[in-house]
Chains A and B, each alone.
Chain A
Amino acid sequence: MKRSNKPIFWSLFGAGGMLAALIGPMLVFMTGLAIPGGFLLPPEAMSYERVLALARHPLGKFALLAIIALFLFHAMHRLYHSLHDLGIEVGPGRRALFHGLAGAGTLAAAALLLVIGT
């Protein structure tokens, strides 16, 4: 039987899923509810200055890139399989599209973080 290439994408899926399980809810809570709503944290926590400082810091860049990339690879892998579960035909072309989108998002994030500078 032919060896599957799934291990690469499964590893990315697993890393993204674990990251999402560990800090995903808190990230969404803070950035989507608490800070914009001014509840438990002030709205200024996401001011232009603060977020720019985060995106310019090497650790901040690493964190943002890791979160975006791993969440995308996790989601695309899972959604690709969900299409199969729903009975929609998903050949190697569509698989490449899904993972390609995750790759494109990763590259875009990396490029933006470069442009934002230090």
Chain B
Amino acid sequence: MKRLSELPAEDGLTARAQLLIRAIGPTLESEERRRRVRRSLDARPVSPRWLGRAALVLGLLGASAAAAAAGGSALSRVFGAQAPPDEVLPTGPTARKPPPAHAALGAPAPGPAAPALPSTPPVGVAPTPPSTSLRPPVPRPSALSDVARVHEAAKALRHDADPERALLLLERGAPVTGPLAEEALALRIEASRSRGDGHQAKLAAAYLAQYPNGRYRELAKQALSSKKP
């Protein structure tokens, strides 16, 4: 079978195809590249990356379980036994409501939803009505992997034009580590610029210090030179 480039260019289409193939061209052999990659390869540990990630995930799971337990006990102190746990932490698109003032003060609340005694289980408690907020909920960072957090933050910033949510996703909880750490920092710079909160210069300086030849150094330099977009 002959290659396209070896066929006679009898018509314009074949000639164009040959031109395109020439434009792409074969991969050039580069000794310098081979040495450069070898140096990087020798600097990398042999153990698989997922071992580190698994340890990180286990740590995050442990921390989130502890935080959930602590948060649950704090909430139960505030609410008493007013509502079962699944009502205290709504999973749907609802905004978390602050506890009513009367509950914090210990005063009995009006209406049938008020518990008779803090220690008695609720009977016929009306569920909290869902909020009308249109903003999607910000999942707890511990519940998301780093990749998913960056992905969600990118969508929030680019598709929803919502830098607040992007920053919440990236800044709450443990900092993003792993292969997308650089992207996470770049996203924070961009979100901070969009919001105009004045933090972008600090973030940009941190980026340039950490990734002097990074993919987003132009963005960082722009953020350093201009405080607002």
Tell me whether A and B are bound partners: no
